[in-house]
Chains A and B, each alone.
Chain A
Amino acid sequence: MLTFILRRFGSSFLVLLGASVLLYVLTINSGDPLADLRESNAENREYLMQQRSDFMNLGMPWYQRYWTWLTGVGKCFIGQCDLGTNRQGQQVVDLLGLAAASTLRLVLLSTVLAMVFGIIIGILTAIRQYSGMDYAVTFLTFLFFSLPVFWAAVLLKEYLAIGFNDWIADPGFTWPAAIVMGLLLGLVLQAVLAGSAKRRLFTFLGAFVFTVLAIPYLDWLNFARYPQLGPLVIALVGAAVAVGATVLGAGLRNRRVLYAGLVTAALGVVSYYATYTLLWDPNWLILLVLAAVLVVVAVAVGRLMGGYSKGAATIVSLTTAVIMGLLIITEHVFRSWPGYLQIVGRPIATIGSQTPNFSGTFWEDFLDKGTQLMLPTILLALVSVATYSRYTRASMLEVSQQDYIRTARAKGLGERQVILKHAFRNSLIPITTIMAFDFAALIGGAVITEQVFGWKGMGDLFRVGLMNVDPAPVMAFFLVTGTAAVLFNLLADILYAILDPRIRV
């Protein structure tokens, strides 16, 4: 294994080196770096040209320029990175740091969301293969594959952002809107839950009646402007999550697991009161410490109460705890929403990564960054959800054909155990590879999305660099993405070998 890794490292290194030469030569030959100055009428034109030429080493032949860049990169190994200067003379290392931070913020959330939802949708469509839902999802996947991102972005801006901002000024649903929403929710739910015709009908009616009654009630509460959950809703949702997680993870008959989940939910409600003042205006450190405490407590509850099914109990109580934590955060965010609306007025921004000169409490700041993230996150997640659901579906179907699945059914295991324990876990093996790649692509950012939404991230660094025939930013971009791709590729191979002993070398 070690020789395999070392050999891979060696060849990857050579590939990276070759690719960097290729990209460098192509970039510096892609246009005239002085084009704008040649047409300029500035008096100090000659001086400006000379200055830019110095910053970009235009006086040297290409191999010398490349060599200068390469030795600068080589210094990274001794901790003094020098990625050259862009044409204004700024150090690219500094630009890169800012760009990478901004990009990670942009892409991380959407990638994680896409993974979770994509895998869930993939499993559902695989279980209900050839159902109406499967066809609908397949069609939607193809649609999202074929969607030009820049075009969809403008649509989102227009209908989601501007539409929502207009609506939030005077929120409220008319009766027809409530009925249509009820119908839609009913249709989706009955397709997802499926079952016999009778069960489908009850699901549909239940969802429809609930929505049609709930929407006017929320309107009456003016929920859109003054949202709140309240301890009762938190407790109910927490208990529901505990029960749901138990159903999926161990089966309701396993009382130990169920009680562990319920105890965690109860502890969550207690901590809601206990941390209320602490979370009034916290900082990231407090949140981090609380998150750590949450994990420790959840694991402890699971292990202490689980008995013979410690593992399942730990997972269930951890899931419950995470959801409880998110609910508590949601409650505080909701609490800050009216104040935030008063400051900003039109909450969902269509451009930029934060409202300029914004100052408020921690939660208001959080809301501000969150609403700015919303549109690009939705857009990026839609595209990736399509990929993930497709791969998960294919992988699940392939696994469910295997002999061991038939064996599991034959020995009388329930459908839950067959799907989640035997099929799903094995179908995740190939998906880890894609996940590794997606994380590698993460750092490269999203060139088009960043341009449409005006983010100053990695993609923007590259785009502006290429626009100006400026090799330093372009190469910095490539250095990061290329290295990430190589490293994560290797990681994927190692993960694969660990997860699937059959292919071990």
Chain B
Amino acid sequence: MDENMNRGVTVQQAAAGPSRQVAAGPSRQAIDMADLAEVEDARLRQKTGKSYSQGQLVLRRFRNHQAAMVSAVFLVLIFILAFSSIGWAGIPGWWDKSYLTSSSVVDGGAPTLSLVPQWLGGEGIRWGEHPFGQDNTGKDYFALVMRGTQQSLIIALVVGLVSTVIGATIGAIAGYFRGWVDSLLMRLTDLIIVIPLLVLAAVLGRMTASLNAGIIPLALVLGLVTWTSLARLVRGEVLSLREKEFVAAAVAMGAHPARVIGRHLLPNTVGVIVVNATFAIASAILLETSLSFLGFGVRAPESSLGLLISEYQNAFTTRPWLFWWPGMLILAIALSVNFLGDGLRDAFDPRQGARTARRRRRFGTFGISGREKALDAATAGTTATATDGPAESPRDDETPFTGPADPLGPGR
């Protein structure tokens, strides 16, 4: 406790010192001392008198990322809505209509959802019989869209899991053993990369469609083709980590390679893995909807957001609701997942985004948290030049694409 206090004070002194030099650009020492994560951690320690583990610090930074938190809440809400409304795997939900049963078309299938209250001249806030309207055959569109959302979310979870497990394993093994194992695994990765993602996914998606086993095979298959970028990233990390002393120590003590990888190497790459998994999920959701749109993914009578858009793209002028709902939901889910990934990236490596420090500074200008001004002045030097850094840097070892969107991917 005492020691922590002392350390906090030292950091503050050191940080306050160079703040005078900021105008002329921070000195080397200032950059070292004002390394954002460290200053922030020290400040936290000083304020609360407690020590935090790395995980707690990351979690704290993540919670401070507004866009990511809003996205997370939003995603959870969508998740609850989709699964509680029409139920899943035989468990009934609170919505009484099924996405499989047709009924007579009421009022041209117009939606009964109304959000404008009566005193504003609207029809009052009500849910109605068919909130999102009905499709051609009188199926309830709300149930269809909710089913499609479920599919997208399942895809997200399964792809995230499968591609992360495969990518992390292959990357770690290649990076740890090097030599011919590395060459072999990396050539395997190249082999999958050289086939355009959409093409490979479409061929595999068409194969699973004939199985008629629902969404899970498609999700597994999408996971099988999206692990490549993670494998390359993890390999790069492991290649540099395995030269560190703690790995040498573990090996010297006779640890089995599986233990070194699982216990010492992979936990240290968890930042890369989590961030990349999030972006992989976002692109997998878009990939599934694109495949279903092209007719290589989910097929009727099952429902998918991409499939719904593909079926009703020509109904836009006459029945726009058939078109708006699925599209907005895809956009909302993908956007939230992307923001979540951005927040995670900032949380795991604060030097890349430096959003927390930025926000602090802004509040400081409004006089909200004036007492941290000395530290802010010190961090301002590095914040102003902080970078969006390696995770977005185009060239990482041999990996050309590491950002959220893959130019060769499902984007077009």
Contacts and interface: CB of A to CB of B under 8 A. Distances in A.
Interface of A: 11-12, 14-16, 18-19, 22-23, 26-27, 29-31, 129-130, 142-143, 145-151, 154-155, 158, 380, 383-384, 386-387, 390-391, 393-395, 397-398, 400-401, 406, 409-410, 430-431, 433-434, 437-438, 441, 444, 446-449, 451-452, 462-463, 466-467, 474, 477-478, 481-482, 485-486, 489, 492, 496
Given A23-B199, A150-B309, A466 B339 contact: no
A168 B353 CA distance: 46
Contacts of B296: 466
A400 B401 CA distance: 22
B371 interface: no
A430 B412 contact: no
Interface of B: 25, 187, 190-192, 194-196, 198-200, 202-204, 206-207, 210, 282, 286, 289-290, 293-296, 306, 309-310, 313, 316-317, 323, 326-327, 330-331, 334-335, 337-339, 342, 358, 384-389, 392-395, 400-401, 403-405, 407-408, 410-412
27 contacts: A14-B187, A23-B195, A23-B199, A23-B203, A26-B207, A27-B203, A29-B207, A30-B203, A142-B335, A148-B331, A149-B290, A155-B327, A394-B393, A395-B393, A398-B393, A406-B25, A430-B393, A434-B394, A447-B199, A447-B202, A448-B293, A463-B202, A463-B294, A466-B203, A474-B199, A486-B194, A489-B400
Contact of B330 (A12, A23, A29, A151): A151
Contacts of B204: 26, 30
Given A15-B190, A397-B387, A462-B199, A158 B294 contact: no
B408 A441 contact: yes
A386 B338 CA distance: 14
B194 A485 contact: yes
Nearest to B408: A441
Contacts of A380: 412
B403 A30 contact: no
A430 B402 CA distance: 13
Contacts of A486: 194
B282 A146 contact: yes
A387 B286 contact: no
A181 to B, nearest CB: 26
Nearest to A28: B203
A398 B334 CA distance: 28
Nearest to A432: B394
B290 A448 contact: yes
Q: Which of B191, B286, B384 has the most CB of A within 10 A?
A: B191
Nearest to B282: A146
A413 to B, nearest CB: 14
B403 A437 contact: no
Q: Which of A150, A387, A466, A489 has the most CB of B within 10 A?
A: A150
B387 A430 contact: no
Contact of B316 (A154, A387, A451): A154
A384 B407 contact: yes
A208 B387 CA distance: 35
Contacts of B387: 394, 397-398, 401
B411 A383 contact: yes
Nearest to B289: A148
B309 A151 contact: yes
Contact of B206 (A22, A30, A158, A394): A30
B331 A430 contact: no
B217 to A, nearest CB: 13
B195 A433 contact: no
Contacts, number: 195
A237 B407 CA distance: 35
B394 A466 contact: no
B294 A448 contact: yes
A441 B407 contact: yes
Contacts of B207: 26, 29-31
A149 B395 contact: no
A15 B191 contact: yes
Contacts of A474: 199, 203
Given A390-B403, A441-B407, A448-B294, 5 more contacts: A149-B411, A434-B401, A434-B407, A451-B294, A485-B194
B404 A145 contact: yes
B349 to A, nearest CB: 13
Contact of A449 (B187, B326, B335, B412): B412
A154 B313 contact: yes
B290 A430 contact: no
Nearest to A29: B207
Contacts of A387: 403, 405, 407, 411
A133 to B, nearest CB: 15
A393 B389 CA distance: 10
Nearest to B323: A154
B187 A11 contact: yes
Nearest to A492: B400
Contacts of A383: 405, 411-412
Contacts of A438: 407
A122 B87 CA distance: 45
Contact of A143 (B326, B335, B411): B335
Contacts of B206: 30-31, 466
A149 B187 contact: no
A22 B225 CA distance: 13
A467 B358 CA distance: 51
Given A15-B190, A26-B207, A158-B317, A437 B385 contact: no
A19 B195 contact: yes
A373 B224 CA distance: 36
Nearest to A392: B394
A146 B401 contact: no
B331 A146 contact: yes
Nearest to B336: A146
Nearest to B392: A394
A461 B331 CA distance: 28
A411 to B, nearest CB: 13
A145 B392 CA distance: 14
A441 B407 CA distance: 8
B388 A394 contact: yes
Contacts of B335: 142-143, 146
Contacts of B289: 148, 150
Given A387-B405, A451-B294, A481 B200 contact: no
B389 A398 contact: yes
Contacts of A148: 286, 289-290, 293, 306, 309, 327, 330-331, 334
A31 B203 CA distance: 10
B386 to A, nearest CB: 7
B213 to A, nearest CB: 15
